[in-house]
A and B are shown apart, each in its own frame.
Chain A
Amino acid sequence: MGNMMEYIKMAFKNITANKGRSFLTMLGIIIGIASVIMVMSVGDGTANAMNSEVADLGTGQINVYCSDDSINAEAWITPEDLQAVRERIEGVDGATPNDGSSGSTVTGKGEFAVQLSGGTEDIQKSMNYNMKRGAYFTGADVEEGNRVCVITDNDAKRLFGSDDVVGMDIEVTINNITGSYRIVGVNQQKENSGFVSYTYEGMPVALEVPYTSFESFGWESDSFYSAVVFANDKASGEEVARDIIHLLETRHQCAGEDYYQIQSFQDMVAELNGMLAIVTTFISCVAAISLIVGGIGVMNIMLVSVTERTREIGIRKSLGAKTSSILMQFLAEAAILTIVGGIIGILLGLLGAAGACSLMSASMGSTIHPGIKASTILGATLFSCGIGVFFGIYPARKAAKLSPIEALRRN
Chain B
Amino acid sequence: METLIKVLDMCKIYNPGENEVRALDHVSLEINRGEFVAIIGHSGSGKSTLMNMLGCLDVPTSGSYYLNGKDVSMMKDNQLSEIRNQEIGFIFQGFNLIANLNAIENVELPLIYRGIGKRERHRLAEEALKKVGLEKRMGHRPSEMSGGQQQRAAIARAIAAEPPVILADEPTGNLDSASTQEIMEILKGLHRAGRSVILITHDNEIAAQAKRVVRILDGRIVEDYYNSE
* A-B complex is real: yes
The interface bits of chain A over 317-351 (1 if a CB of B lies within 8 angstroms of the residue's CB, else 0) are 11111111100000000000000000000000000
Shortest A15–chain B CB gap in Å is 11
Shortest A321–chain B CB gap in Å is 5
State whether the Cβ of A218 lies closer than 8 Å to any Cβ in chain B.
no
State whether the Cβ of A408 lies closer than 8 Å to any Cβ in chain B.
yes
Q: Is the CB of B109 within 8 A of A405?
A: no
Q: Is the CB of B82 within 8 A of A320?
A: yes
Q: Is the CB of A405 within 8 A of B78?
A: no
Interface-facing stretch out of A143-151, A308-316, A381-389:
A308-316
State whether the Cβ of B84 lies closer than 8 Å to any Cβ in chain A.
yes
Docked Cα-Cα span, A184 to B226, in Å, equals 126
Q: Of all chain B residues, which has the CB nearest A324?
A: B78
Q: Is the CB of B52 within 8 A of A323?
A: no
Q: Is the CB of A319 within 8 A of B110?
A: yes
Q: Is the CB of A320 within 8 A of B84?
A: yes
Shortest A381–chain B CB gap in Å is 29
Which residues does chain A contribute within 8 Å of B52, judged by CB atoms? 405
B: contact size bracket: 20 to 34
Q: Is the CB of B109 within 8 A of A319?
A: yes
Q: Is the CB of A408 within 8 A of B96?
A: yes
Q: Is the CB of A325 within 8 A of B113?
A: yes
State whether the Cβ of A6 lies closer than 8 Å to any Cβ in chain B.
yes
Query: When A3-B112, A318-B57, A403-B58 are in contact, do A13 and B100 touch as well, CB less than 8 Å?
Result: yes
Which residues does chain B contribute within 8 Å of A3, judged by CB atoms? 112-113, 115
Docked Cα-Cα span, A408 to B48, in Å, equals 12
Docked Cα-Cα span, A2 to B118, in Å, equals 13
Q: Of all chain A residues, which has the CB nearest B77?
A: A323
Docked Cα-Cα span, A311 to B92, in Å, equals 13
Partner of B98, one of A2, A315, A408: A315
Q: Is the CB of A6 within 8 A of B96?
A: no
Partner of A320, one of B97, B99, B100, B110: B110
Query: When A13-B100, A17-B100 are in contact, do A319 and B78 touch as well, CB less than 8 Å?
Result: no
Q: Is the CB of A317 within 8 A of B100?
A: no
State whether the Cβ of B85 lies closer than 8 Å to any Cβ in chain A.
yes
Shortest B78–chain A CB gap in Å is 5
Docked Cα-Cα span, A17 to B102, in Å, equals 13
Which residues does chain B contribute within 8 Å of A405, judged by CB atoms? 52, 57-58
The interface bits of chain B over 85-116 (1 if a CB of A lies within 8 angstroms of the residue's CB, else 0) are 11000101000111111000000011011110
State whether the Cβ of B34 lies closer than 8 Å to any Cβ in chain A.
no
State whether the Cβ of B157 lies closer than 8 Å to any Cβ in chain A.
yes
Shortest A305–chain B CB gap in Å is 12
The interface bits of chain A over 285-327 (1 if a CB of B lies within 8 angstroms of the residue's CB, else 0) are 0000000000000000000000000011011111111111100
Q: Of all chain A residues, which has the CB nearest B49?
A: A405
Docked Cα-Cα span, A331 to B96, in Å, equals 23
Number of A-B residue pairs, CB cutoff 8 Å, is: 64
Shortest B83–chain A CB gap in Å is 8
Which residues does chain A contribute within 8 Å of B143, judged by CB atoms? none
Partner of B113, one of A14, A311, A319: A319
Which residues does chain B contribute within 8 Å of A370, judged by CB atoms? none
Which residues does chain B contribute within 8 Å of A314, judged by CB atoms? 96
Query: When A311-B96, A403-B58, A405-B57 are in contact, do A317 and B115 touch as well, CB less than 8 Å?
Result: no
Partner of A322, one of B78, B92, B101, B109: B78
Docked Cα-Cα span, A323 to B80, in Å, equals 11
Docked Cα-Cα span, A16 to B110, in Å, equals 22
State whether the Cβ of B61 lies closer than 8 Å to any Cβ in chain A.
no
Docked Cα-Cα span, A408 to B115, in Å, equals 23
State whether the Cβ of B81 lies closer than 8 Å to any Cβ in chain A.
yes
State whether the Cβ of A392 lies closer than 8 Å to any Cβ in chain B.
no
Q: Is the CB of B81 within 8 A of A322?
A: yes
State whether the Cβ of B164 lies closer than 8 Å to any Cβ in chain A.
no
Docked Cα-Cα span, A408 to B97, in Å, equals 11
Partner of B82, one of A2, A318, A322, A404: A322
Q: Of all chain A residues, which has the CB nearest B85?
A: A320
Docked Cα-Cα span, A17 to B143, in Å, equals 15
Q: Of all chain A residues, which has the CB nearest B55?
A: A318
The interface bits of chain B over 52-80 (1 if a CB of A lies within 8 angstroms of the residue's CB, else 0) are 10010110000000000000000001100
Q: Is the CB of A2 within 8 A of B115?
A: yes
Which residues does chain B contribute within 8 Å of A17, judged by CB atoms? 100
Q: Is the CB of B96 within 8 A of A315?
A: yes
Q: Of all chain B residues, which has the CB nearest A409?
A: B48
Q: Of all chain A residues, which has the CB nearest B82?
A: A320
Shortest B58–chain A CB gap in Å is 5
Which residues does chain A contribute within 8 Å of B92, judged by CB atoms? 408
Which residues does chain B contribute within 8 Å of A315, judged by CB atoms? 96-98, 109
Q: Is the CB of A319 within 8 A of B84?
A: yes
A139-161 interface with B by 8 A CB criterion = none
Q: Is the CB of A6 within 8 A of B112?
A: yes
Which residues does chain A contribute within 8 Å of B78, judged by CB atoms? 322-324
The interface bits of chain A over 1-43 (1 if a CB of B lies within 8 angstroms of the residue's CB, else 0) are 0110010000001100100000000000000000000000000
5 contacts between A and B (CB under 8 A): A318-B57, A319-B90, A323-B78, A403-B58, A404-B57
13 extra interface residue pairs, beta carbon distance < 8 Å, beyond A318-B55, A320-B82, A404-B57: A3-B112, A3-B115, A311-B96, A312-B98, A314-B96, A318-B84, A319-B84, A319-B85, A319-B113, A322-B78, A322-B82, A323-B81, A324-B78
| Chain A interfacial positions (CB closer than 8 Å to B) | 2-3, 6, 13-14, 17, 311-312, 314-325, 403-405, 408
